[in-house]
Structure 1
Amino acid sequence: MAFTVERIRTEVADLLGEDPADVPLDENLADWGLDSVRLMALVERWRAEGAEVAFVQLAERPAVEAWAALLGAA
């Protein structure tokens, strides 16, 4: 499955128990409750699907837009 901004946003929202529309694209997701355990879960899921992304890369810039760029989102 391709990575899109909406997919990333939806998966983050699911982990945080939020509505995807409420998850901002450009804000620090740690401020929304994304902790290292949840972040690692995303990394593992995405790597299993072939994404070449590391925990540190996502942790350095924890925002949907930044992740979309790293994942080559459409």
Structure 2
Amino acid sequence: MNDTSPQALQQDRIVADIAAMLQIEAAELDLDALLSEQGLDSLRMITLIESWRAAGADIDFHRMMALPTAREWIAELNA
């Protein structure tokens, strides 16, 4: 049984989804580097956010776009 809240996403999923969007291995994603410098453009961000919304996460699009690193995304999505 999965006890994960629909509002929260697990760190492993967030990292895996971002890495997949960047076509890299999850271990290669630098959580503290700017996502934009790692190749995540606004279209890819929108795609990720929409997929997480479809999975039930309550995400403020503008707030997420203002956060520059994966570590900040993880914190926001698990707040």
State whether TM-score is above 0.5: yes
**Large movers: runs of 4+ above 4 Å:** none
TM-score normalised by the chain length of structure 1: 0.86
Q: Which structure 2 residue ranges, 5 or more long, are not aligned?
A: none
Say which of 63, 68, 71 aligns to 1:62.
Answer: 68
Q: Which structure 1 residue ranges, 5 or more long, are not aligned?
A: none
Map residues 1-74 of structure 1 onto 2, 5 A cutoff: 2=4, 3-72=9-78
| CA deviation after TM superposition for structure 1 residue 51, in Å | 1.1
How many percent identity over aligned positions? 36
| CA deviation after TM superposition for structure 1 residue 37, in Å | 0.5
Decide which structure has greater helix share. Answer: 1
User: Secondary structure in 2 aligned to 1:66?
Assistant: helix
Larger radius of gyration: 2
